Amino acid sequence: MMRRKSMVLLAALTAFCTSWGLAAPVPANADTWHQSTRLTNRRSGLEVSVISAGCRDMACLNGRGLRLESGAGSIFALVDVPGGSEIRWSHDKCLDAAGFGTTNGTPVILWDCTGTTNQLWEIQGFYGPGADLGSVLLVNKLSGKCLDARNPSFPTPPPPMAVLQIWDCVKKPKDPWIVNQAWEFHF
């Protein structure tokens, strides 16, 4: 069933991309490292970056947060796994809802990929009007909440250094909170 949903999403995304003259996406395969991508907040244009200052080895990165920065984004990969998709950094670190948290404001951190539901994400196409056309929502499989940029500047788009968290997903295209939850991948 999951493979069928992935194929339907891929077909829809391919049709959308080709209608706009863009390159079609590469199909996901759980046995391979996917095409590298940057993850960007659609409204601010800022890229997701790992807060890695002071780390000298990979083990140090467990528990590190993620934030938005201008032009300094980290490279991620999408990997289909049973039950959802992992968003991986450096092959073995995944975006993780900290401590299996399910409440609004739970930080999104890096952690060793374990395949647990707090590291699985569902990519939902969000075909809102105008600026959000082609954006995606990233829904955490454990909590059902969306990847969100903490935004003290709301209703304007999230500022540089905004940290990532999970929060109730927007329900409709005109919901003002979309500024914090509309994402795009740059393959």
pLDDT digits (tens, 9 = 90+) for 63-107: 999 999 998 778 999 898 999 999 999 878 999 999 999 999 999
Cα(145)–Cα(162) distance, integer angstroms? 18
| Kind of pairing between the strands at 66-69 and 76-81 | unpaired
Amino acid at 62: N
26-54 pLDDT tens trace: 444 443 445 678 999 999 999 999 988 88
What is the chain's alpha carbon radius of gyration, rounded to the nearest angstrom?
Answer: 16
- pTM value is 0.79
Helix (H, G, I), strand (E, B) or coil at 186: strand
